[in-house]
């Protein structure tokens, strides 16, 4: 169960980052950062991160930081793909190779570390 919650936390962090990006689009559209749409988006992000904080606290207590923390690096993969899908941001070949190296590093940590055995 701890790993499932850890993955949900990583996905939540990615969603939070994408919501922050959406907030910047609202700010550009509405002409400022103190508009209702921006403030509502930021409030949602703060609430989400509050829940994620509590969930991560539980994860660390149940599976340990050494096992859980490398999974956070998956947000470096999820967020760029989300920005590509939802905001049309471009991902170049070098960027994709770098993301592949991040994934390879995570797999190396998981399958090569005594913390996961």
For 85-104, the pLDDT digits (tens) are 999 999 999 999 999 999 99
The stretch 38-64 carries a mean pLDDT of: 97
Quick one: pLDDT band at residue 31, thresholds 50, 70, 90? very high
CB-neighbour burial class of residue 90 (10 A; exposed 0-12, middle 13-18, buried 19+): exposed
- What per-residue confidence (pLDDT) applies to 111? 82
- What per-residue confidence (pLDDT) applies to 107? 87
Q: How many domains are contained in the chain? A: 1
DSSP classification of residue 9: H
* Domain housing 80: 2-116
Quick one: pLDDT band at residue 114, thresholds 50, 70, 90? low
- What per-residue confidence (pLDDT) applies to 109? 84
- What per-residue confidence (pLDDT) applies to 115? 60
pLDDT over 70 at 28, yes or no:
yes
Are residues 82 and 18 in contact, defined by beta-carbon separation less than 8 angstroms?
A: yes
- What percent of the chain is predicted at pLDDT more than 90? 74
| Helix ranges (DSSP H) in 1-117 | 2-30, 36-63, 65-72, 75-87, 93-112
pTM of the model: 0.87
- Rounded Cα–Cα distance for residues 75 and 71 (Å): 8
């Amino acid at each position: 169960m701890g790993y499932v919650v850890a993955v949900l936390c990583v996905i939540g962090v990615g969603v939070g980052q994408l919501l922050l990006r959406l907030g910047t689009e609202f700010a550009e559209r509405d002409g400022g950062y103190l508009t209702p749409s921006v403030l509502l988006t930021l409030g949602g992000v703060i609430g989400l991160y509050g829940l994620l904080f509590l969930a991560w606290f539980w994860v660390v207590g149940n599976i340990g930081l050494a096992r859980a923390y490398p999974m956070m690096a998956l947000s470096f993969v999820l967020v760029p793909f989300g920005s590509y899908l939802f905001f049309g941001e471009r991902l170049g070949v070098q960027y994709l190779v770098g993301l592949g190296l991040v994934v390879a590093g995570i797999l190396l940590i998981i399958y090569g570390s005594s913390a996961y055995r």
